[in-house]
Amino acid sequence: MAFDYDKYLRPGKLPHIWCPGCGHGIILKGLLRAIDACGLDKDNTAIVSGIGCASRLPGYVDFNTLHTAHGRAAAFATGIKMAKPEMNVLVVGGDGDGVAIGGNHFIHACRRNIDMTYILCNNFIYGMTGGQFSPCTPTGDRASTTPYGNPDPVFDIGKLAIGAGASFVARTTSFHATQIDKLIAEGIRHKGMAVIEVLDDCPTTYGRRNKFRSVVDMMKRFKELAVPVAKAASMSKEELEGKIVTGILHQEQRPEYCEQYAEVVKRAQKS
Amino acid sequence: MAKKIALLQGNEACAYGALYAGCNFFGGYPITPSTEVAEVMSRELPRNGGKFIQMEDEIGAMASVLGAALTGAKALTASSGPGISLKQELIGYGCIAEIPCVIVNVMRGGPSTGMPTGPSQSDIMQARWGTHGDHAAIAVAPASCQEIFAETVRAFNLAETYRMPVQVLLDEINGHMRERIELPEPGDLEVINRQTPSVPPDQYLPYDPDFGDVPPLAAFGSGYRFHVTGLNKAADGFPTTKAKLVDAEERRQIRKVEANRDKIEKNEEYLVEDADIIVVAIGTISRSARNAVNQLREQGMKVGLFRPITLWPFPERRIAELAVRCKTLIVPEMNLGQMILEVERVIRGACALHGIGRVDGEPITPSQIIEKIKEVC
């Protein structure tokens, strides 16, 4: 039987704002399948975002939803989770929102290992403002503010999250639609900070400036470059150059922040 | 029964006032001269089952407070000038999304890093207009440690009643000064909690004007699933660009304070009945002004003190009335002329007006005020 997305969508809020060919819709569907697979209670689930195209997602879905300010989603989400640890807290946002203006909140949420699931839709560009380069725009690429090619090096979000202390880090692409929900579901089930980076296509502001003739070309590129984690393990650094390693990049059990704070409460109440 | 007496610093009194009001969440970031508020909360909140978090920066602290407040928590943050500047975008978020919370600003010199250990009253206008866009503002400016306790409780009450961020303005002097305080027993001071919806969840609109200018606020996780955004929104909480809906929401948010000025404003008047000269001062400097008034009364001069305890909304009607009755208003403030601009605006030239400004990190003294009054009157 086809999956019933309507169960989780707010009536009357579609059509969404995303352009034809945008990968955010694929991620939205993956997110809803993951939520369903994990059996999350709508009343007890908060979905938080910042600003940008991907950050419009919470408006469409029937949960406790919070569309915050640019870059601040992880910090708002931290307040929600701390105040009400029994709530499931998910964050959705883009690359500029998450690791440029929101980079500080992102790394510190990872460091605390607070129990939330952060779905970072990395489309290599600031889409909503018309295609300016982000920390994830490949070096040399064109954006509206890099008319002579992007001089900036690229953030590796997976390494950033692992280095900062996230205890679950995964990556996939908008081509790998069925892997999206599996990884998000794994992230939701994981106790601690889970970061799922989904490489995403923005045909309107990134693709057309960078010689992708169609969305299909962008998708094909994800398909060609993707290397599952297990296969990547047997490949050399040179062989992996320019490839996209997909799957669970890192998972460990580490004390979760709200549980650690519960211990603080116990100690405080004894003293 | 004898009252419980304590010797408390202003910042500590502020923290205990917050706890009295039911504060159960603090999100902060260290900054002089406000840090003692965070230190007390880090010690007391977990004892009381509350939550304390030191965030990675000032913006994160404000964000955590807003997130926590949406779950139903009574949330507090404390900072000082530069930190408040960083929080401003999210203070605006609290205004438009109508999230109750309290922000303490222990004012220090500025702009920028300024004088971290020096007192100042230079955030008077920041407290009103610091965030961008049209919005209502409530700020209280207590003078003594006893009053800091009570006004922090009232700040929470105002935040909960009007569903908005409320600021408590202290300064380095009354934040760090220690005074004897009678600690109120439970029940001595009123404690107000926000109105929550009584309609079934499927009928709930987070900004429903049918419930007046302050619609009830459901908590995240309470069965009322709703949307919150910083975009201009309609009564249902979802973004809109429809001119009529945006206009109605914007005006309601400002009206909820303007139409309730009588309930929000709080002033102290000291010897103003027969006064020819009235000093208008807030916070620490109102204490210098009271001393100056007493000294000049002994010398036979008819001088009084008008002290706004609610700084914003500004007590414009009362000051306009006083300006008609007296000959001169004197406005001493630890900045180079901020509150005097409001006084000038509201008195419309009805009497003479003189300011005393000081920005060297020292308080305005009684003798400075006396000297000025003798010079101009």
Chain B contacts in chain A segment 40-59 (CB below 8 A) = 42-44, 46, 48, 58-59
- The alpha carbon torsion through A85, A86, A87, A91 (nearest 10 deg) reads 40
Judge whether B193 lies within some domain: no
Shortest CA gap A270–chain B (Å): 8
Asked if B89 and B65 sit in the same domain, the reply is yes
Side chain identity at residue A182, one-letter code: K
Asked if B43 and B148 sit in the same domain, the reply is yes
What mean pLDDT is predicted for residues B122-145? 98
Asked if B206 and B120 sit in the same domain, the reply is no
pLDDT band at B2 (very low <50, low <70, confident <90, very high): confident
Is some CB atom of chain B closer than 8 A to the CB atom of A65? yes
Would the pLDDT of B149 be above 70?
A: yes
Asked if B22 and B124 sit in the same domain, the reply is yes
Would the pLDDT of A16 be above 80?
A: yes
pTM above 0.95, yes or no: yes
Asked if B155 and B302 sit in the same domain, the reply is no
What mean pLDDT is predicted for residues B178-196? 97
Asked if B226 and B363 sit in the same domain, the reply is no
Asked if B28 and B176 sit in the same domain, the reply is yes
Tell me which CATH homologous superfamily contains domain A19-270.
Thiamin diphosphate (ThDP)-binding fold, Pyr/PP domains (3.40.50.970)
Chain B contacts in chain A segment 100-129 (CB below 8 A) = 104-105, 107-108
What mean pLDDT is predicted for residues B344-352? 98
pLDDT tens digit string along A55-108? 999 999 999 999 999 999 999 999 999 999 999 999 999 999 999 999 999 999
Side chain identity at residue A266, one-letter code: K
Side chain identity at residue B194, one-letter code: R
Cβ pair B27:A79 closer than 8 A: yes
Asked if B63 and B133 sit in the same domain, the reply is yes
**Mean pLDDT estimate for chain B:** 97
Shortest CA gap B97–chain A (Å): 10
How far is Cα A138 from Cα A121, in angstroms, rounded to an integer? 15
Asked if B355 and B228 sit in the same domain, the reply is no
| Chain A residues touching residue B72 (CB < 8 angstroms) | 83-84
Q: pLDDT > 70: what percent of chain A?
A: 100
What is the pLDDT at residue A271? 83
Asked if B124 and B178 sit in the same domain, the reply is yes
Shortest CA gap A106–chain B (Å): 10
| Chain A residues touching residue B231 (CB < 8 angstroms) | 67
| Chain B residues touching residue A108 (CB < 8 angstroms) | 55-56, 60
| Chain A residues touching residue B238 (CB < 8 angstroms) | 13, 59
- Output A221-225 pairs: Cβ under 8 A, ≥24 positions apart: A222/A173, A222/A174, A222/A175, A222/A176, A223/A175
| Site from A56, A114, A265 to mutate, B interface, most B CB atoms within 10 angstroms | A265
Cβ pair A43:B239 closer than 8 A: no
How far is Cα B81 from Cα B110, in angstroms, rounded to an integer? 7
Cβ pair A59:B225 closer than 8 A: no
Is some CB atom of chain A closer than 8 A to the CB atom of B113? no
What mean pLDDT is predicted for residues B24-48? 98
Asked if B39 and B161 sit in the same domain, the reply is yes
Please give the tally of structural domains in chain B: 3
Is some CB atom of chain B closer than 8 A to the CB atom of A145? no
Q: B290: domain range?
A: 269-376
Q: How far is CA B2 from CA A42, A96, B182, B184, B323, in A?
A: 51, 59, 10, 11, 43
pLDDT band at B248 (very low <50, low <70, confident <90, very high): very high
Side chain identity at residue A222, one-letter code: F
Chain B residue with CA closest to A86: the answer is B221
Q: pLDDT > 90: what percent of chain A?
A: 99
What mean pLDDT is predicted for residues B301-325? 98
What CATH number did the domain enclosing B311 receive? 3.40.50.920
Judge whether B189 lies within some domain: no
Is some CB atom of chain B closer than 8 A to the CB atom of A241? no
Residue B146 half-sphere exposure toward CB, CA atoms < 13 A = 8
Chain A residue with CA closest to B66: the answer is A76
Would the pLDDT of B354 be above 70?
A: yes
Judge whether B372 lies within some domain: yes
Which among B24, B46, B64 is the nearest to A268, CB-wise? B46
What ipTM is given for this predicted complex? 0.98
How far is Cα A88 from Cα B180, in angstroms, rounded to an integer? 45
Domain boundary among B183, B211, B239: B183
Domain ranges of chain A: 19-270
What is the pLDDT at residue B1? 60
Greatest CA separation for chain A: 67
What CATH number did the domain enclosing B50 receive? 3.40.50.970
What does the angle CA B28 – CA B33 – CA B34 come to, to the nearest 5 degrees?
30
The answer to whether the beta carbons of residues A67 and A58 sit under 8 Å apart is yes
Domain boundary among B261, B284, B301: B261
Asked if B207 and B111 sit in the same domain, the reply is no
| Site from B45, B71, B89, B99 to mutate, A interface, most A CB atoms within 10 angstroms | B71
Q: At what angle do helices A157-164 and A103-112 cross, to 10 degrees?
A: 50
